[in-house]
Amino acid sequence: MKDFIIPWTDDRDLGTPAKAGPPVTLTIDGFEVTVPEGTSVMRASALAGIEVPKLCATDNVEAFGSCRLCVVEIEGRRGTPASCTTPVSPGMVVHTHSDKVRKIRKGVMELYISDHPLDCLTCAANGDCELQDMAGAVGLRDVRYEGTENHFAVRQNGEANPRYVPKDESNPYFTYDPAKCIVCSRCVRACEEVQGTFALTIEGSGFDSRVSFGARSDDALASDCVSCGACVQACPTATLQEKSVIELGTPERSVITTCAYCGVGCSFKAEMRGDTVVRMTPYKHGKANRGHSCVKGRFAWGYASHRDRILNPMIRDSIDQPWREVSWDEAIGFAAGRLQDIQAKYGKRAIGGITSSRCTNEETFLVQKMIRAVFGNNNTDTCARVCHSPTGYGLKTTFGTSAGTQDFDSVEQTDVVIVIGANPTDGHPVFASRLKKRLRAGAKLIVIDPRRIDLVKSPHIKAAHHLPLRPGTNVAVMSAIAHVVVTEGLFDEAFIRDRCDWDEFQDYATFISDPRHSPEATEMLTGVPADEVRGAARLFATGGNGAIHYGLGVTEHSQGSTTVMSIANLAMMTGNIGRPGVGVNPLRGQNNVQGSCDMGSFPHELPGYRHVSDDATRAIFDDLWGVTLDSEPGLRIPNMLDGAVDGTFKGIYVQGEDILQSDPDTHHVAAGLAAMDCVIVHDLFLNETANYAHVFLPGSTFLEKDGTFTNAERRINRVRKVMQPRNGYADWEVTMLLANAMGAGWTYTHPSQVMDEIAATTPSFANVSYELLEERGSVQWPCNEAHPDGSPIMHVDGFVRGKGQFIVTEYIPTDERTGPRFPLLLTTGRILSQYNVGAQTRRTANVVWHEEDVLEIHPQDAENRGIKQGDWVKLASRTGETSLRAEITDRVSPGVVYTTFHHPDTQANVITTDYSDWATNCPEYKVTAVQIGLSNGPTRWQEEYSDQAARSRRIIPAAE
Amino acid sequence: MRALDPEAGLADRISEICADHAHLEGPLLPILHAVQDELGSLSEAVIAPIAEALNISRAEVHGVISFYHDFRTEPAGRHILKICRAEACQAMGATALAETAKARLGVDWHGTTGNGAVTLEPVYCLGLCACGPAAMVDDRVVGRVDAGRLEDLLVEAGA
Ligand code: SF4
Ligand code: SF4
Ligand code: SF4
Ligand code: FES
Ligand code: FES
């Protein structure tokens, strides 16, 4: 916030939050200091380098003024006001260390200490405790009060102490030890203000008050707590403490890096002792997260040292054999040899590769470079296809860039938000917390989702409109909204005339005004009451700054690209593009989906979204790489698999993706993989795809390598190596080994050289370098001559493509339809504690929150079929069937069922179909017609599958 | 889920009470009083429906219930005896009176006698400061309560 005052590496706690306002000058202990109006005396002092003792204040929550340790004297004012709750005023003269306040502070500390166990030497927070620090700071030397009653002694006067409450260790990652609590309520305020969950309260009053998770009989795990860690971060004592610190001791150094889970891209401090991570804490100057985190990034990093992680390369001749552990040389030689043999026999285009949305930009760049320059074809694709390719296509067509238009800070200036097909509290938790904060401050929310997601209603948040549409009718609903905006004259004519093509808009207006698009006409189809649609449309068009956030519920449909374009249309017609608080923002699933798309992962696009048929672009790479690139687009994943079944595509290198589990129609993927001669899987774990692999190359975690991730706001964040790769090589080095074994002759010694190559070849990255990132912390592309500081907001003075383009968006129902045999619609999503196919999160203590995938069924549908809570049900579609347990809930509408796909045993994708987006082949995960019925356990396919998986995972260790 | 909830009847009634108070500025305290008046106490089962109706968290409702001594989480006896503990009454021997009451009833503050007849509660000033020690049985205030008078009150209440 006040980045110009504090360099981005200073993360002292300044006591109270930053304020914005005109400058005010005051004098503190004789030093003059100028701060924005509204700043507290405490913060002003800290900025002047004077730290006023404090206990109940911390700079990520508003001051509360309860401990009275921070008192100061102000000339001309009576008494000793608390500096944390006193705002500065011009000419104020403050004394922070007078005899009077020193005495008061000592007295306050004495009281606190008289009810605190004095076991500092063995306390987990020893050296990291503010109570300890403050006792030192105020010069406490003895404690005169003999507390007759206390909270910390287990027994008193030979009897059990009724005030003593034992430790709550129910949360897998942190403990709550009431004996050490000073009841400063920092945790309660952090849970409310920062996280927005309101899971904590102070129960009781006076001396009896203490912190409580939920109601009296709840423990931390049973409460509403989502384990974000904000309270642990805020706690000044060992009361709320990471279990990892209890076990390992306090950290001795820290390295700033980026979370490797979701597209929010939170910045973290990896706090280390030697080469062991002691804890990950959210970094306050991280511009995506502003000091907040979720359970995944904060706590779920234990997978890096899970025993399932494979650390040695392995090969086998055929997939029915057990794995053989071999040296890196042998594995790479074997892989390169097989790929070359295939090319010699079946032609250059018989092999290809998959880049990963989890790996760094540099790694992705190298994989596509290897495919294009060494394999000599364009058969590169990425699993972003299975999520956000419609975003790229839709936004490029309408606006001219394949990316979201805003930064996350923009939400602070939003007045009306549409969330469509996304579940931010689970998928993008830190963004959700920032959004909820804005909603509590009065912004309005419209949720368009078949399910009643938590944002629709949770403590202190309530959507103005929830449009629970039938899965597959996004376009119809968006059209109905646009119909209302256009026919009621709510569009922003000045913006459209200025920024778009007015005639084109006229055509669009004629199309959308047709009564068949009206909310009334589409109500039967979409299931959304017409007046709700009208209300939502009016609110969005007239409610001030309007922002639209969308997720996989938009893209993973047969009309994914169309919906993206209809979202863009709505933003343009309401004038909501090009300034803070507005915009169109895809919520990216994986950490580097944006980056992997930017880096040229797609078969038809070179880095920077330039078509392979473009001679000028190819010439840049031809010159630099000394090759002649293929001008024909390569194969997409489904085409590679088709080719494999037909016998024309024989080898694939898959980096950091589990295509068997994350791609639709598992049977088809399995058949394709099984037909290939050389499947190379490069990953941390023996994933499901590896069951069909001939070469397994162990991968490295984000803690073990340098690089960059690009988050959903186009922000390029540094990933920093905090320990040596346990498998021996960072992923970029492994790709280089393979490329070199096939004759590439690459000589990179650090990922920064790869970034330099990206900058040299890709205009939107022209000014990006590791030096710049070191200096700025992060930067948002485009970052080049025209935008030397990067671009927080896009399309500010005009659209990248020139004029914004309105596209006619006709609703075409998916071919997937319900009928008598398959009367229900299945839609899929994710939950907070698990991530994607769960390879990492399933290998952490996060499983306490989600042991298995369940099927949500509306009570009515359940009753009709005699299904009760917790029953095994068989879920069948036209393509397959699987079994899982029932969860009866009215979160879903009648006729709709919902599940997640985090656990491989469920194989929910066995039953999704192979329909896909018309423009980009993005699979239609979000709509499948299904039937459900009682069953007595896993299906035959599930059992056969787990047999096959177990067989193919056998490993023969290398001889010592 | 709600349809399957065994507490559905209770939850519905609480929702009604909440709806009746929805127009108020700070509805939580009046709702808690109304629910306690109707049910006799605020058990944990009442928290979720109140939180749901006001769109606040369960923790917040619990925080408020536990903050005020007026709210009880266990059912009270048939009669409630409140003894004033504020200064004027203390000066007139209210502390000793309270000790007598505790001994006679065999309970501590907030406790209820084994036969469910009387619950003992502290109170802070009943406005009868001139004739302390003061007490209150259900809705009736009584002044100058000495040991004899206390016994009469307790017998009357069935303790
Ligand atoms: S971990 Fe997060 S959600 Fe849980 S109590 Fe703490 S702040 Fe609240
Ligand atoms: S748990 Fe920590 S933050 Fe919360 S009140 Fe106690 S000491 Fe303060
Ligand atoms: S919100 Fe996303 S990026 Fe941030 S900590 Fe959670 S998983 Fe990591
Ligand atoms: S820090 Fe200011 S009153 Fe506690
Ligand atoms: S002090 Fe007891 S009634 Fe006022």
Whole-number pLDDT of residue A2: 33
Q: Is residue B74 part of a domain?
A: no
Residues of A in contact with B73 (CB under 8 A): 216
User: Which of ligand 1's atoms lies nearest the C-alpha of A234?
Assistant: 7
Q: Is the confidence at residue A6, as pLDDT, over 50?
A: no
Between A949 and A339, where is the model more confident?
A339
Nearest CB to A214; choose among B2, B59, B67:
B59
pLDDT of residue A4 exceeding 50: no
Considering the domain architecture, whether residues B36 and B91 belong to the same structural domain is answered as no
With bands split at pLDDT 50, 70 and 90, how would you rate the model's confidence at A661?
confident
- Window from A33-42, A135-144, A468-477 with minimum mean pLDDT: A135-144
Ligand 3 near A282 CB (within 6 A): no
Report the Cα B147 to chain-centroid distance in Å. 24
- C-alpha A165/C-alpha A152 separation (Å) is 8
Mean pLDDT of B6-24: 83
Q: Residues A608-621: what's their mean pLDDT?
A: 90
Q: Which atom of ligand 4 is nearest to the CA of A53?
A: 1
- Helices A474-487/A519-526 angle, 10° precision: 170
Is the pLDDT at A3 greater than 60? The verdict is no
Share of chain A above pLDDT 90, in %: 56
Same domain, B83 and B142: yes
Most confident of A423-437, A554-568, A806-820: A423-437
Residue contact B62–A216, C-beta within 8 A:
yes
The complex scores an ipTM of 0.84
- The DSSP output letter for A190 is I
Alpha-carbon distance B67 to nearest alpha carbon in chain A (angstroms): 4
Amino acid at A411: V
Kindly indicate the confidence band of residue A817, based on its pLDDT and cuts at 50, 70 and 90.
low
Nearest chain B residue to A197, by CA: B57
- Rounded to a whole number of angstroms, the distance from the CA of A820 to the nearest CA of chain B is 27
Give dist(CA B62, CA B56) in Å, integer. 11
pLDDT at A1: 34
Q: Which residue of B has its CA nearest to A225?
A: B59
* Exposure string for A217-239, b = 16+ CB within 10 A, e = fewer: ebebbebbbbbbbbbbbbbbbbb
Cα four-point dihedral sign A936, A938, A944, A949? negative
| Chain A residues touching B57 at Cβ < 8 A | 197-199, 201, 214, 224, 459
Beta carbon of A290 within 6 Å of any ligand 4 atom: no
Residue after which a domain boundary falls, among B21, B43, B67: B67
Structure confidence at residue A917 as a pLDDT band (50, 70, 90): low
Tell whether pTM > 0.90: no
Q: Contacts of residue A205 in chain B, CB cutoff 8 Å? A: 66-69
Ligand 2 cavity residues, CB under 6 Å: A 181-187, 211, 234-237, 239-240
Question: Is A889 within 8 Å of B1 when comparing Cβ atoms?
Answer: yes
Q: Do A216 and B66 touch (CB under 8 A)?
A: yes
A96-108 pLDDT, tens digit per residue, is 999 999 999 999 9
What is the pLDDT at residue A96? Answer: 95
Does the pLDDT of residue A910 top 70, yes or no?
Answer: no
What are A672-717's pLDDT values in tens digits? 999 999 999 999 988 888 999 999 999 999 999 999 999 989 999 9
* Ligand 5 closest atom vs CA B123: 2
CA angle A251-A252-A256, nearest 5°? 80
In a domain, B5, yes or no: no
Instruction: For residue A465, give both structure tokens.
Output: 């409109």
* B23 and B58 together in one domain: yes
Measuring from atom 5 of ligand 2, which residue has the nearest CA? A183
The answer to whether the CB of B88 is under 6 A from ligand 5 is: yes
- For residue A278, the SS3 value is strand
| Single residue among B44, B67, B90 that ends a domain in this structure | B67
Q: Which of A170, A188, A200 to mutate to test the pocket of ligand 1 (most atoms within 8 A of CB)?
A: A200
pLDDT tens digits, one per residue of A124-142: 999 899 999 998 998 888 8
| For range B74-80, the mean pLDDT | 84
**Highest-confidence range of A180-189, A847-856, B69-78, by mean pLDDT?**
A180-189
What are the chain A neighbours of B69 within 8 Å (beta carbons)?
A: 205
Q: For residue B73, is it within any domain? A: no
Q: Any idea what the CATH number is for the domain that residue B124 is in?
A: 3.40.30.10
Domain total for chain B?
Answer: 2
3 state SS of A399: coil
Q: Determine the average pLDDT of the residues in A875-894.
A: 86
DSSP A136-189: HHTT--------SS-SS-SEETTEE-TT----B--SSSEEE-GGG-----HHHH
- Start-to-end CA distance of chain A, whole Å, equals 56
Backbone phi and psi for residue B76, each to the nearest 5 degrees, phi listed first:
-90, 170
CA atoms within 13 A on the CB side of A945: 20
Is residue A663 predicted with pLDDT exceeding 60? yes
φ and ψ at residue A401, rounded to 5 degrees: -135, 145
pLDDT at A388: 66
Per-residue pLDDT band for A919 (boundaries 50, 70, 90) equals: low
Note whether A816 and A472 are within 8 A (CB): yes
Selecting from B44, B62, B69 the residue whose C-beta is nearest the C-beta of A201 gives B62
- Quick one: A79 exposed, middle or buried, by C-beta within 10 A (0-12, 13-18, 19+)? exposed
Ligand nearest to the CA of A238: 2
Chain A residues near any Cβ of chain B (below 8 Å): 197-205, 209, 212-218, 223-224, 457-462, 859, 869, 888-890
- In the predicted model, what is the mean pLDDT of residues A328-354? 94
CB contacts of A462 in chain B (<8 Å) are: 55
Residues whose CB falls within 8 Å of the CB of residue A448, separated by 6 or more in sequence, listed in order? A418, A419, A420, A421, A467, A469, A474, A477, A536
Q: Which atom of ligand 4 is nearest to the CA of A67?
A: 4
Can you tell me the distance from the alpha carbon of A550 to that of A558, in angstroms, rounded to the nearest whole number? Answer: 16
Across chain A, mean pLDDT equals 88
User: B55 and A888 in contact by Cβ < 8 A?
Assistant: no
Residues of B in contact with A200 (CB under 8 A): 59
Mean pLDDT confidence for A507-517: 92
| Residue B128 CA: distances (Å) to CA of A80, A165, B87, B94, B149 | 38, 39, 12, 13, 16
Identify whether residues B90 and B30 lie together within a single domain.
Answer: no
Among protein residues, the one whose CA lies closest to atom 3 of ligand 1: A225
CA dist list (Å): A611 to A370, A602, A607, A616 = 18, 10, 9, 10
Please report which confidence band the pLDDT of residue A73 belongs to, taking 50, 70 and 90 as the band edges. Answer: very high
* Same domain membership, residue B153 and residue B87: yes
| Cα of B114 to nearest chain A Cα, Å | 22
Q: At what angle do helices B94-105 and B147-157 cross, to 10 degrees?
A: 40
B101 within a domain of the structure (yes/no): yes
What pLDDT, on a 0 to 100 scale, did the predictor assign at position A903?
A: 61
Q: Tell me: pLDDT of A301 over 90.
A: no
Which residues of B fall within a CB distance of 8 Å from A440? none
Enter the tokens of residue A561.
Answer: 């690209």
**CB pair distance less than 8 Å for A869 and B62:** no
Last-in-domain residue among B46, B67, B88: B67
C-alpha of residue A849 to centroid of ligand 1, in Å: 14
pLDDT at B4: 40
Same domain, yes or no: B120 and B57: no
Nearest-Cα residue of chain B relative to residue A868: B4
Burial of A697 (0-12, 13-18, 19+ CB in 10 A): buried
Nearest-CA distance A936 → chain B (Å): 23
Sort out which chain A residues have CB atoms less than 8 A from B4's CB and list them. 859, 869, 888
Distance A245 CA to ligand 5 centre (A): 52
Q: Whose CA is nearest to atom 4 of ligand 5?
A: B125
Q: Which domain holds residue B101?
A: 79-157
**Whose CA is closest to atom 3 on ligand 4?**
A65
Query: CB of A563 within 8 A of CB of A554?
Result: yes
Rounded Cα gap, residues A126 and A61, in angstroms: 24
Residue B135 lies in a domain: yes
3-state secondary structure of A49: coil
Cα within 13 Å of Cα(A687), Cβ side: 26
Alpha-carbon distance values, A392 to A602, A635, A916, A927 (Å): 11, 18, 15, 21
The pLDDT of residue A477 is 93
B102 and B56 share a domain? no
Binning chain B into helix, strand and coil, the percentages to the nearest 5 are 50, 10, 35
Confidence check: pLDDT of A499 > 80:
yes
Q: Are residues B15 and B59 in the same domain?
A: yes
Pocket test for ligand 2, best of A66, A69, A186 (most atoms within 8 A of CB): A186
| B26 in the same domain as B53 | yes
Please tell me the distance from the alpha carbon of residue A696 to that of residue A692, in angstroms, as a whole number.
10
In a domain, residue B98? The reply is yes
Which residue's CA is the closest to the ligand 1 atom numbered 8? A191
Is there a contact between A196 and A460 (Cβ–Cβ < 8 Å)? yes
Average pLDDT over every residue of A892-907: 76
Domains of chain A and CATH, by start: 23-137 (3.10.20.740), 155-305 (3.30.70.20), 314-386+592-780 (3.40.50.740), 389-586 (3.40.228.10), 824-952 (2.40.40.20)
> Same domain, yes or no, for B46 and B110?
no
Least confident of A274-288, A404-418, A736-750, A927-941: A927-941
Task: Number of A to B CB contacts under 8 A, please give it.
Answer: 73
A107 CA to middle of ligand 4, Å?
Answer: 14
- For residue B56, list chain A residues with Cβ-Cβ distance below 8 A: 198, 459-460
Q: How far is the CA of B134 from the centre of ligand 5 (A)?
A: 6
Confirm whether B116 is domain-assigned: yes
Of the listed ligands, the closest to the CA of B86 is: 5
| Contact criterion met (CB below 8 Å) for A751 and A707 | yes
To the nearest whole angstrom, how far is the Cα of B57 from the nearest Cα of chain A? 5
B24 domain-assigned: yes
